Structure 1
Amino acid sequence: MSRLLSLALALWLTVPVAVAAQSLQDILQIHQEEVLKPGRRSVGVVLDDLVASGLPQALPFLEAWRDREIVKRDSDGLFFRASEDGDMVTLMDLDTGENLGPANAAGLTESRPNGGVRRAIGDALVQFQLSDPDIEKRLTAVQAIARSMDASQLAPLSASIEGESDRDLKATKTRLAGMLGALFADTQEARIAAIEALAGDLSVDVRAVLSTVLSTSSSVAPTVPDGTNLAQTLDVGTDISAVEAYQQLVDADLAPALITKAAIREALVANIQGGLVAGIPVATLDTDEARAGAYDALAAGGIAAPRVTDAQQAEAIAAHTFFLAYDETDVAITDAARAAQRAIETSVAVSQGIDLGLDALSLASIYFLAAIGLAITFGVMGVINMAHGEFIMMGAYTGFVVQQFVPDYTLSIIIALPLAFAITFGAGVLMERLVIRHLYHRPLETLLATFGISIALQQLAKNIFGTQARPLTSPEWLDGALVFNDVVAISYIRIAIFVLALIFLALILFVLKRTRLGLEVRAVTQNPGMAASMGINPDRINMLTFGLGSGIAGIAGVAIGLYAKVTSEMGADYIVQSFMTVVVGGVGNVWGTLAGASLIGFLQKGIEWLNPSNTLAAQTYMILFIILFIQFRPKGIVALKGRAAAD
């Protein structure tokens, strides 16, 4: 019988306190002193029992304890949550949450945990919140773990993954547990597995974790000590300067410190006797060499420490090995981290190339939209229209005005696109009828006239809309970006502009290839005289063509306005690139315009990537390249065929 009692007593003693306890108050009474006067070392026992209890009321207690709202009633030693109510204090039962009414503050003792204890309580709170029914609290807990990256959070985080109901949050927990495992897992195998699992993740925080695993410290020794996880042997003169190497020897107490000029001066001043230092007149010590000689005389007499010569420094450096050692001592873990880091760096380089290509493609689509109207007018009519950028500006302002009356941004854009075409088409026809038609075959006069019109249109826009930039707001479904990974992303607005460019390409090709107007335009482009003899009115075609090119510029203005601010000068930002696109691609050719826009877009982004700090230089280099390109291919990438090509 006594053996059975002893066995029962032993089993009871091995049961955790929290399991034996029936309520939160029971646990607090067991740890009464630790709750009332918690210390950084003693608080862990209380927190372990609270976490093990699984009591739902433990979470609000921890929050109140952290916020210094827990008090003990002196009469019976029970703990309550307190809130001030004037001169009185209102108590709340910790197990039931019942309001017990006011109490005299004189009979209460407040628990006041210090900063270290409150941090420990916060860690325990995170463990509770990881499985809280409220997803916002679970998300907050995960974010707190991500900020602290503490080894103590790995086990509770891993335990909460299986029961996580939200798919996205579960993936976040799994990823975070992998990063913590790479840093703090208990076994070598677990850490290596976690590191290998990170190899496909390009995010900055994963790269930071691998960098932490591969962190190094600079060391020096006669030879590399056995057991050192060597990262790199440093070559003096290449990886580290001789001055830095010798200073490292001094810091490691492996070589005497260098005597500085200040120390030489102090030693000389301290040993002046009768106007002499070591028998040398003070008046002659007016150079560094003279002072160094006097100091050497003092050192020879044993009065000062001898200077270290250059030869001695070189000898000391040659006698030691300088190296970087991994802070992580396990070679297998650092090997796995290096392999994962190399894989990530390769993926990042590929992703950066893809991202640069997407940016270039987006810029090319913007240039294509801006230039396609100019390609039609310049190619068919040979008119250098310096006011083309202002038609882009007119289209953008049309979109802005429409949005002032139509608050639905999607509907306003749908209305603005055809309206911008109609307004700029009409403006283009009016300009052709009043000005351009009188200046055919007079390129200099046409250039000057259209340049004057562009200035007038800019000033008119300033008078109407002011000089302040006006926003052309995109619909909500164009907000944000399409994110492929932490490196590759493209905004939905750029995607929309690219799609619009493709639609315009298909539409213009259809008009030119499948309609009577297109046939007549191509005929006039190839040979105006022959087209006129076949019954085509070149004057009418020129008018419609100029209006069509202007209308397309207006639609391009709406698209560009969604991407950039709408100002009276916005057209000037695209007129140079538009002319370059048309000339490089090939005058009067839609495919040439597409090729020219692609070449200029990719070229500009490539130059900006090589010289990211100077966008003006990128523009300059691009213009120089195009000048050289035209020297070798004056008719552009896609040269015009037919008799007109020989003109």
Structure 2
Amino acid sequence: MTRILLAIWLSLSALIAPAHAQSIQDILQEYGDVIAKSSRKSIGPAITALASSGLPEAKSVLEKWQNKEMWMRESDGEFVWAEEIDRDTLHIHSFAGDDLGEAPDDAFKQLKPNSGIRSMIGSALVQFQLNDPDPDQRRIALEAIARDPDESHRAPLRASIDGETSPTLKAQKERLATLLTIRFDDDPAARIAAIDKLRGDLGLDVRAALNPLVATRRVAATDAPDGNVARTLKPGSDALPRAEAIALLMQAGILPATITRAEQRAALEANIENGEVGGIRVNQLSSQEMRDRAYAALASVGAVPAATTDAEIDAALEDTTFYELYAESDPDVTAAAEDALETIRTKVGFNQFLDLALDALSLASIYFLAAIGLAITFGVMGVINMAHGEFIMMGAYTGYVIQQIIPDYTVSILVAIPAAFMVTFAAGVAMERLVIRWLYSRPLETLLATFGISIALQQIAKNIFGTQARPLTSPGWLDGAWVLNDVVSISYIRIAIFVLALIFLGVFLFIMKRTRLGLETRAVTQNPKMAASMGINPDRVNMLTFGLGSGIAGIAGVAIGLYAKVTSELGSDYIVQSFMTVVVGGVGNIWGTLLGATMIGSLQKVIEWFNPSNTLAAQTYMIIFIIIFIQFRPRGIIALKGRAAGD
């Protein structure tokens, strides 16, 4: 209410020209008693007079007052602003710009406006800030209005639009002015036009402005509905259960408060005399009917409050109209708001689907990066490598070590990618030469051996780096997110991982289709004996292929480390999804791996959307679905063709 009065005073003051030129000190002296009293109820005219004076010092006075830097000299009531030098001394300045030197503070009274007055001063300062030469100040003013919109902001905001030189700030001002029109304008036609202007806008501030217009409250009345009625309600229906209807009757004073069974029992116990209650023996109170009779007898003599009978409640429900009443009084405005919100809800639903699709695509790219190396070692070579996740972990730690050496995050990431490849390639070659080569065609032994290696590698990582998560920091240009609107956004890191996944898809296809290693790998995979007879060394090809798959896992570790925490258990978080990706997509087919990653990523995001608070349940449902899927497609989405398919 005070802010509305302030806005009215500002408007009236703008229409009334002063009879003679006043200085800022004249205005302060005129309202000196009100300012010194600092009462929110009476301070409005003083703030209005300063804000509408047109004097260049007005902004400074209001700012100093708001910041509790304005003082009043006790001897003559002159207002100044001062800086505190120590506990007893002030450095005094006049609002005309004069330096008045130092003075003891006991000769001055500090003005300390409370939070309500400071808020009113802030509203008055908006008109100055909106026209400030500094664009940053104008932006700050707009942000302040957006955070706490008020009726008093509307006039100065509209007045500042035509003179705004920044196209961006002008658009913000026009949008804010439209929102303030929806909230505060007295003309229904203007409000409806403003609502139509923002129809379909996905901004949270638009919904914040529209939702109060369609807010309702439930009313019970014995006469005809009065106001903007949203709908009538029938007691006992799903929309208005009987208990809620009775509560509304009591709230409206139509029905006296009822008592509960527990309250009735307590009242009966309190009125036992000589083994009787209301003329009824205590041993006869086993039924509810007898307890009701005893209570009625007590009520007839005024010993307890009278209880409302079911018949009286039924009669009151029958004679009363229940309805929901809009907080907004104009039905045309509420109809326009409902229509606009319905349009917004439709667009929000579509954009939520788009956001979910982007999340699924992002997760799929992470799974694809994690699985692309396994697609070589397991999908092509048929080796069940349970230590594949640890190669991912080794790549992430390699990136961390590189960042300790090279502090520039962009350069360190560019160096870390080939470094991680070389480290994990060498580790993969060593593992293949020392362990895997002796276990080809023995899948169970391979699984057990690589599982033991994975545990050993995790323990080595703990011994070197500890159990605390290590940071793998992304470059500054990957900070933030690509924001389409208030619903759809995706972080730049996820976009980078998606691009990296596409790059490695192309690299893998080039290696397998256009290089000698790829040709030899495919030959050894399909028929190792025939490949050996053609001069190909299967042992060498297996070693390089396993090293290649391990090296790609290391690069995936660098990418995943930018997104997830780098710990010794990093790889174990992705090993299950990696195997599922390869198996579901189709063993030995890179396109199948891509489709498998897309399917698993999408499925997990959809399940998480339905059950957002339980990610473990989402993974469980996903595994169950994949088990069922494999029953119908045991060779995956894209089955391997050729000799290897029959082995």
Displacement after TM superposition at 1:18 (Å): 5.0
TM value normalised by structure 2: 0.92
User: What residue is the counterpart of 1:92 in the other structure?
Assistant: 93
* Alignment deviations for residues 392-414 of structure 1 (CA, whole Å, 9 cap, x no partner): 11111111111111111111111
Q: Matched residues in 1 for 2:461 and 2:14: separation?
A: 85
Preserved contact between residue 18 and residue 50 of structure 1 (Cα < 8 Å): no
User: What residue is the counterpart of 2:9 in the other structure?
Assistant: none
Aligned pairs for 1:418-457 within 5 A: 418-457=418-457
* Alignment deviations for residues 498-541 of structure 1 (CA, whole Å, 9 cap, x no partner): 00000001111111111222222222222323323333222221
Partner letter of residue 161 of structure 1? Answer: I
* Alignment deviations for residues 463-496 of structure 1 (CA, whole Å, 9 cap, x no partner): 1111111111111111111111111111111000
User: Which stretch of the first structure deviates more once superposed, 624-633 or 85-94?
Assistant: 85-94
Displacement after TM superposition at 1:180 (Å): 1.3
Partner letter of residue 406 of structure 2? Answer: V
User: What residue is the counterpart of 1:376 in the other structure?
Assistant: 376
Displacement after TM superposition at 1:600 (Å): 0.7
Preserved contact between residue 275 and residue 282 of structure 2 (Cα < 8 Å): yes
User: Which stretch of the first structure deviates more once superposed, 603-612 or 172-181?
Assistant: 172-181
Aligned pairs for 1:137-156 within 5 A: 137-156=137-156
Q: Which SS does the other structure have where 2:52 is aligned?
A: helix
Partner letter of residue 340 of structure 1? Answer: A
Aligned pairs for 1:127-526 within 5 A: 127-222=127-222, 224-225=224-225, 227-231=227-231, 233=233, 236-261=236-261, 264=264, 268=268, 274-282=274-282, 285=285, 290-299=290-299, 306-526=306-526
Cα 1:404–1:103 change in 2 (3 A) is: closer
Preserved contact between residue 17 and residue 49 of structure 1 (Cα < 8 Å): no
User: What residue is the counterpart of 2:5 in the other structure?
Assistant: none
* Alignment deviations for residues 183-217 of structure 1 (CA, whole Å, 9 cap, x no partner): 10131121112222222322223212211111111
Displacement after TM superposition at 1:282 (Å): 4.8
Q: Matched residues in 2 for 1:483 and 1:229: separation?
A: 39
Q: Which SS does the other structure have where 1:199 is aligned?
A: coil
Partner letter of residue 92 of structure 2? Answer: L
Q: Matched residues in 2 for 1:245 and 1:555: separation?
A: 65
* Alignment deviations for residues 377-427 of structure 1 (CA, whole Å, 9 cap, x no partner): 212321111111111111111111111111111111111111111111111
Displacement after TM superposition at 1:269 (Å): 6.3
Q: Matched residues in 1 for 2:107 and 2:427: separation?
A: 88
User: What residue is the counterpart of 2:551 in the other structure?
Assistant: 551
* Alignment deviations for residues 103-147 of structure 1 (CA, whole Å, 9 cap, x no partner): 566665665655543432232122322222334433333233223
Displacement after TM superposition at 1:20 (Å): 3.3
Q: Which SS does the other structure have where 2:468 is aligned?
A: coil
User: Which stretch of the first structure deviates more once superposed, 271-280 or 400-409?
Assistant: 271-280
Displacement after TM superposition at 1:54 (Å): 2.4
* Alignment deviations for residues 304-360 of structure 1 (CA, whole Å, 9 cap, x no partner): 554333343233223323211101110110011111111111111111111111111
User: What residue is the counterpart of 2:612 in the other structure?
Assistant: 612
Preserved contact between residue 469 and residue 565 of structure 1 (Cα < 8 Å): yes
Partner letter of residue 181 of structure 2? Answer: G
Partner letter of residue 634 of structure 1? Answer: P
Displacement after TM superposition at 1:23 (Å): 2.4
Cα 1:424–1:232 change in 2 (3 A) is: farther
* Alignment deviations for residues 596-631 of structure 1 (CA, whole Å, 9 cap, x no partner): 111111111111111111111111111111111111
Q: Which SS does the other structure have where 1:53 is aligned?
A: coil
Preserved contact between residue 379 and residue 588 of structure 1 (Cα < 8 Å): yes
Partner letter of residue 398 of structure 1? Answer: T
Q: Matched residues in 1 for 2:15 and 2:605: separation?
A: 68
User: Which stretch of the first structure deviates more once superposed, 193-202 or 438-447?
Assistant: 193-202
Cα 1:236–1:458 change in 2 (3 A) is: same
Q: Matched residues in 2 for 1:19 and 1:141: separation?
A: 32
* Alignment deviations for residues 260-284 of structure 1 (CA, whole Å, 9 cap, x no partner): 4465457546755555333224565
Preserved contact between residue 383 and residue 443 of structure 2 (Cα < 8 Å): yes
Q: Which SS does the other structure have where 1:620 is aligned?
A: helix
The yes-or-no answer on 1:569 pairing with 2:580 is no
Displacement after TM superposition at 1:562 (Å): 0.8
Partner letter of residue 554 of structure 2? Answer: G
Aligned length: 634
Q: Which SS does the other structure have where 2:219 is aligned?
A: strand
User: Aligned residues: percent identity?
Assistant: 62
Partner letter of residue 634 of structure 2? Answer: P
User: What residue is the counterpart of 2:10 in the other structure?
Assistant: none
User: Which stretch of the first structure deviates more once superposed, 26-35 or 237-246?
Assistant: 26-35
Cα 1:292–1:415 change in 2 (3 A) is: same
Q: Matched residues in 2 for 1:311 and 1:47: separation?
A: 61
Cα 1:445–1:39 change in 2 (3 A) is: closer
Cα 1:142–1:630 change in 2 (3 A) is: same
Q: Which SS does the other structure have where 2:61 is aligned?
A: helix
Q: Matched residues in 1 for 2:289 and 2:555: separation?
A: 78
Structure 2 unaligned segments of length 5 or more: list them. Answer: 1-12
User: Which stretch of the first structure deviates more once superposed, 118-127 or 99-108?
Assistant: 99-108
Preserved contact between residue 362 and residue 494 of structure 1 (Cα < 8 Å): yes
Q: Matched residues in 1 for 2:347 and 2:355: separation?
A: 12
Displacement after TM superposition at 1:230 (Å): 2.4
Preserved contact between residue 229 and residue 325 of structure 2 (Cα < 8 Å): yes
User: Which stretch of the first structure deviates more once superposed, 70-79 or 331-340?
Assistant: 70-79
Q: Matched residues in 1 for 2:71 and 2:258: separation?
A: 62
Q: Which SS does the other structure have where 1:218 is aligned?
A: strand
Preserved contact between residue 213 and residue 337 of structure 2 (Cα < 8 Å): yes
Preserved contact between residue 88 and residue 106 of structure 2 (Cα < 8 Å): no
Cα 1:637–1:275 change in 2 (3 A) is: closer
Q: Matched residues in 2 for 1:444 and 1:94: separation?
A: 88
Partner letter of residue 402 of structure 2? Answer: V
User: Which stretch of the first structure deviates more once superposed, 185-194 or 533-542?
Assistant: 533-542
Displacement after TM superposition at 1:70 (Å): 3.7
Cα 1:81–1:309 change in 2 (3 A) is: same
Q: Matched residues in 2 for 1:16 and 1:27: separation?
A: 15
Q: Matched residues in 2 for 1:373 and 1:114: separation?
A: 66
Cα 1:300–1:575 change in 2 (3 A) is: same
* Alignment deviations for residues 234-267 of structure 1 (CA, whole Å, 9 cap, x no partner): 5533012111101211211222331344654575
* Alignment deviations for residues 560-619 of structure 1 (CA, whole Å, 9 cap, x no partner): 111111111111111111111111111111101101111111111111111111111111
Preserved contact between residue 235 and residue 242 of structure 2 (Cα < 8 Å): no
Cα 1:223–1:508 change in 2 (3 A) is: farther
Partner letter of residue 93 of structure 1? Answer: S
Q: Matched residues in 2 for 1:111 and 1:537: separation?
A: 92
Q: Matched residues in 1 for 2:565 and 2:55: separation?
A: 57
Q: Matched residues in 1 for 2:328 and 2:391: separation?
A: 64
Q: Matched residues in 2 for 1:109 and 1:570: separation?
A: 64
TM value normalised by structure 1: 0.92
Displacement after TM superposition at 1:292 (Å): 2.7
Cα 1:293–1:87 change in 2 (3 A) is: same
Preserved contact between residue 82 and residue 93 of structure 2 (Cα < 8 Å): yes
User: Which stretch of the first structure deviates more once superposed, 163-172 or 556-565?
Assistant: 163-172
Q: Matched residues in 2 for 1:479 and 1:216: separation?
A: 42
Q: Which SS does the other structure have where 2:199 is aligned?
A: helix
Preserved contact between residue 429 and residue 543 of structure 1 (Cα < 8 Å): yes
Preserved contact between residue 219 and residue 322 of structure 1 (Cα < 8 Å): yes
Partner letter of residue 423 of structure 2? Answer: I
